[in-house]
């Protein structure tokens, strides 16, 4: 039997959970032990875990958890150089050359711990067992539309979007919120935005397209067929909003360039980079170099009469934390119940050792 330890998320604005109380109960019913760190930011109350049979423990106490505990989380660990002695399950973002990859992998190597990266838990056909892609696409489109609307309502503002502090119970509630801003923007500007989605046939892109249509926008949908010739693509510059939803695995020509966005005739004023490969050396949107946050949603890539603003929030589904968590956790739980004795877990563990060897030798 396993001891799963759900840690508190330290990332600002992160309210999702990879384990909801119903799923904790399922693990406990199968004889596993579940410890849950207290969290004031998680999308469900601590008491619901306790009611499900889990043991509540102090925030951040995973570092002193029994060595056989499996530490379960979503986003990055607290910054530290300490060796990692536990087995961890979370989105580590360290297998594709991202910034900080070597340092994190060295912490595992030094402590003898193992990483099962949630991004690389895959079925035999290569499809991920659980993903936030659809939720990310929905939230990315929502924020992109909000930023565009704010820019119509206050075109002289140097900060085109106020802090996004509100969280939504479900996607319908989010759509209602966005629609009211689009209506106000249309009343002032006389139009709705033109939108292009790249990666439109995937889970992420599909969510983005669906949300746009829900609020009355019919986006241009591009996928592999439209991008196979290689960028940059001047067509992107002729839309008001560009939503990037691709899953980047290898280097590809850039979709847009700094030279292109500085040229005459550009319509584009908002990029919502849902893929958010900011620290990836192969980032196909090399017009910015840092992530944004819910408290500061945009950064300005160009000034002038039509300034271009980029959204690069790397945990967009946290805008709708409860519903996105349920979608993800419903898919993950059957694999947690079988941890670590299936090909899903074996492949992920082998990949961890392969990447550690490649990066650290």
Q: Could you give the 3-state DSSP secondary structure of residue 28? A: helix
Kindly state the helix (H) or strand (E) to which residue 278 belongs, with its residue range.
Answer: none
- Is there a binding annotation on residue 127? yes
Residue 93 annotated as catalytic: yes
Q: Is 114 annotated as a binding residue?
A: no
Q: Determine whether 251 is an active site residue.
A: no
Hey, what are 232's tokens?
């940059």
Residue 126 assigned as binding residue: no
Q: Is 246 annotated for ligand binding?
A: no
Q: Taken in order 214, 238, 180, 14, is the CA torsion positive or negative?
A: positive
Q: How far apart (Å, rounded) are the C-alpha atoms in residues 170 and 322?
A: 7
Helix (H/G/I), strand (E/B), else coil: 164: coil
Q: How far apart are the first and last CA of the chain?
A: 34
- Which 8-state DSSP code applies to residue 142? H
247 marked ligand binding residue:
yes
> Which one of the listed residues 3, 33, 75, 96 is annotated catalytic?
75
Has 227 been labeled as part of a binding site?
Answer: yes
Of 93, 221, 326, 355, which is the active-site residue? 93
82 known ligand binder: no
C-alpha 72/C-alpha 293 separation (Å) is: 23
* Residue 55, SS3 per DSSP: strand
Bridge partners for 131 per DSSP = none
Does 274 appear as a known binding residue?
A: yes
225 is annotated as contributing to ligand binding: no
Tell me if 49 is assigned to a ligand binding site: no
Contact criterion met (CB below 8 Å) for 310 and 287? yes
Task: Give the C-alpha separation, 178 to 235, whole Å.
Answer: 26
Reduced to 3 states (helix: H, G, I; strand: E, B; else coil), residue 308 is strand
Residue 202 labelled as part of a binding site: yes
- Bridge partners (DSSP) of residue 222 are 198
The helix or strand, by DSSP H or E, that contains position 176, with its residue range, turns out to be: helix 171-189
171-189 and 203-214 are packed helices; what angle lies between their axes, rounded to 10 degrees?
Answer: 60
Q: Please state, in angstroms and rounded to a whole number, the distance separating the CA atoms of residues 120 and 128.
A: 7
CB contact at 8 A, 316 and 139: yes
For the chain, the maximum distance between any two Cα atoms, rounded to a whole number of angstroms, is 65
What are the residue numbers of the active site?
75, 93
Please enumerate, by residue number, every residue annotated as part of a binding site for NAD(+): 127, 202-203, 223, 227, 247, 274, 313-316
């Amino acid at each position: 039997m396993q001891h799963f330890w759900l840690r508190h998320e330290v990332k600002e604005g992160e309210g999702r959970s990879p384990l909801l109380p119903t799923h904790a109960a399922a693990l406990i019913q199968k004889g596993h032990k579940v410890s849950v760190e207290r969290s004031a930011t998680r999308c469900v109350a601590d008491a619901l875990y306790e009611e499900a049979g889990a043991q509540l423990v102090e925030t951040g106490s995973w570092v002193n958890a029994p060595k056989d505990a499996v530490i379960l989380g979503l986003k990055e660990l607290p910054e530290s150089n300490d060796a990692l002695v536990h087995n961890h399950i979370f989105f580590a973002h360290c297998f594709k050359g991202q910034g900080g990859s070597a340092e994190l992998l060295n912490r595992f190597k030094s402590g003898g711990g193992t990483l099962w990266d949630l991004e690389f838990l895959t079925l035999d056909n290569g499809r991920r067992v659980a993903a936030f892609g659809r939720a990310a696409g929905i939230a990315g489109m929502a924020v992109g539309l909000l930023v565009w609307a704010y820019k119509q309502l206050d075109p002289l503002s140097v900060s085109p979007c106020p802090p996004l502090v509100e969280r939504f119970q479900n996607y319908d509630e989010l759509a209602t919120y966005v629609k009211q801003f689009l209506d106000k923007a249309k009343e002032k500007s006389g139009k709705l935005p033109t939108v292009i989605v790249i990666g439109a046939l995937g889970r992420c892109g599909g969510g983005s397209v669906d949300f746009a249509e829900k609020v009355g926008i019919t986006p241009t949908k591009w996928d592999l067929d439209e991008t196979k010739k290689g960028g940059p693509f001047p067509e992107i510059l002729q839309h008001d909003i560009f939503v990037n939803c691709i899953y980047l695995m290898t280097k590809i020509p850039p979709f847009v360039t700094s030279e292109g966005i500085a040229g005459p005739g550009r319509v584009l004023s908002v990029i919502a980079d849902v893929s958010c490969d900011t620290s990836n050396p192969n980032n196909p949107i090399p017009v910015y170099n840092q992530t944004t946050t819910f408290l500061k949603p945009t950064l300005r890539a160009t000034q002038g009469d039509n300034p271009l603003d980029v959204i690069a929030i790397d945990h967009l589904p946290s805008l709708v934390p409860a519903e996105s968590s349920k979608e993800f956790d419903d898919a993950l739980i059957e694999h947690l119940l079988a941890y670590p004795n299936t090909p899903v877990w074996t492949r992920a563990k082998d990949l961890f050792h392969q990447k550690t060897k490649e990066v650290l030798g």
